[in-house]
Structure 1
């Protein structure tokens, strides 16, 4: 498998894991704090989405620096790669959020 695909799969899994893990742990903590775990998990999953993307791509400064320096010199392949890593990380975080929302949906 190519290094690009390997990193993309890992970034997807990291973003997915950050959202799901953080939301589940927040749900456990809300039970201990005598609050509604469903409401807490829904809110946390939404708020963790951006941080999951940041964690997956390895911070905010380095990917942006790669995009900036390569874009201005006309080397668009590294720019495309970084944008794809960000997109794949977003998809992982979004899938985690949707999964948590689905788990917490109202029974009726």
Structure 2
């Protein structure tokens, strides 16, 4: 059971990281093709993708809500703990991707 949880944590981290990195790079290519400044749009796109990266990493909001419901109504605290750790892992992936863009572009992404 713990091995499966660790796998889920690592996957959620890198899914969130990949959504931010991939979405930002592809979105900035679109900005370049439309005549906008790609580096400026990278910051805007990365900020806009934060919540969507977390939602994509946890597999959609309904699964998370049903796991919370199962944990509260059935008294299974492990399900609540597991879901919270997965969400924190996805948030870590988002933060790591934003830090990567801060380092590459030299500005703070807020």
TM-score w.r.t. the length of structure 2 is 0.89
Would the aligned equivalents of 2:53 and 2:90 in 1 still touch at CA under 8 Å?
A: yes
Q: How many residue pairs are counted as aligned between the two chains?
A: 106
- The within-5 A match list for 1:44-63 is 44-63=45-64
Q: Alignment partner of 1:2: what SS?
A: helix
Which runs of 5 or more residues in structure 1 are unaligned?
A: none
**Is the 1:12–1:88 Cα contact (8 Å) retained in structure 2?**
yes
Instruction: After superposition, give the CA deviation of every residue in 1:32-57 in whole Å (9 maximum; x if it has no partner).
Output: 11111111001111110110000000
Runs of 4+ in 1 over 4 A off after TM superposition: none
Q: Deviations along 1:53-101, whole A, 9 cap, x unmatched? A: 0000000011111112212332101110011000000100111122112
Q: Which runs of 5+ in 2 are unaligned?
A: none
Q: CA RMSD in A?
A: 1.4
Query: SS in structure 2 opposite 1:89?
Result: helix
